[in-house]
Chains A and B, each alone.
Chain A
Amino acid sequence: MARKSLRRKPEFAVRKTPFLVILAFTILGLIGISTGEPQRVLEQAIRVCLSCIGIG
């Protein structure tokens, strides 16, 4: 019991999970870029999609 209390967690410690999550999604995004997806996003975004905004 006494030994357990000696091994108290430090008040602040670097969390690694956020960095792994960011890395995983960065890789995902890079795969998307490599397939030319940004160009497709641009093509869609520069056109007014009337049905998308409830007109037509």
Chain B
Amino acid sequence: MEDQILALTAELAAVKSAAQVTNTMFAEAYYYLTIPLMVIIHAGFLLYEMGQTRVKNVLSSGIKNLLAFAFTIITFYLFGWWFYWALPTFPVTSLTAAAGYMEISGLAYASAIALPWGDSAQYMGPNMADHASGVFWGAFALFAATTASIASGALIERIQTVGFVICAIVLGSFAWVVAAAWGWHADGWLVTEFGFHDFGAAGLVHAVAGFFALGILVNLGPRVGKFNADGSANKISGHNLPLTVTGLMLIIVGFFGFLMACIILPGEGWSWYADQGTTIYGTPMTLSALAFNVCLAASGGIIGAWVFTKDPFWMMSGCLAGIISVASGLDVYFGSHVIIISLVAGMILKPCADWVESLGIDDAVGAVTVHGTIGLFGVVVLGVFGSGIPGLGAFAPEGTVAISLYGQIVGAVVMFLLGFVPGYIVSWLVHKAGMLRIPEAVQIRGLDVVKVPAQAYPESMVSDESDSK
């Protein structure tokens, strides 16, 4: 009898061990697959941006977009990942960036797991006992690259390549990372002190990137020919609207990967619970909730934008805006909430973009509005609908602050500042170094003929605005 019990115990342990292996491998594969899905976002941004560019500049726009992706990924490895783990409590709950309640933050913790040198290097490369660090890093690196791509489109046809790359590094490997540390981490002070909630990163990715772009645009100035002497704006059409609209649809495809990467799977040492997935805050979340709400938001945004514009560019931008408008609360909204909010987001999109343009800002793709304004709209709207919802999961410290309108407004202000201020400062410095704006003669002639050793299209499609051959 005793032998049988021992045998059964051993068998049970083996079964549990096998189940854990399956769970671990599933979790690793889950996050790994979000990475190529998010690369689709970049394929989309590439098409979107190149389509919105005139023929004479199309390859230059593509080069800029590709370099933003590449430099952001590498610098996020070198130092961006460290900022995320180091800064959650700084400077509000700890001036010395000490560890927070969950003990997964602070200078010492970040230096132990997120630097590509010293002892922490064991978690920044191959390690058979670590199936999480690389895939989490990869997902975050793609979030980082997304911020750079968001800003990229607004600046086309007159920003220098290297100057833009420097701005993209600051955005992708610093500005948004600080926002994520503060508002997208269980120890983040915006979460613990203000109950800030932003499940799908409407504020900390989209708003930060959108307003970072605005900060650059202020220093960069408009494209040659965008504004008349009386201040009125001219429409500068891109060379391929179907490419742009298809790109936008690919961004939406990638968003499903982006958002599934925002879920914390169960059953691992880093999970909140053994049996259920959660948000990054440890609050309830399922892929099913995403399926309902993302599909509805995309549809609501398209319809909302169609009401006033009838323009496929703005309809697909509305699709993006619909998702961004509900991203903060995708985990708590009911489907009909989502329809209402995303319809409104789609409807206000074009008037908001027109208002930005009336200020003399030449945002070539509407990124400031789609990502910046609508991102903040989404953050604040969650405060309206979601006040009182617990801010953290079941293992949070007592007295955890709940979601509130006040907390969401504080978060929105912080996200605006984390975008605009670094964007303005770094672009001002780059401008002073003579590396920001392309000379007007080159803009008029066309960027591709000046600096790209390739042609986008056969001779029959060369722009009549350029002497490019």
* A and B associate: no
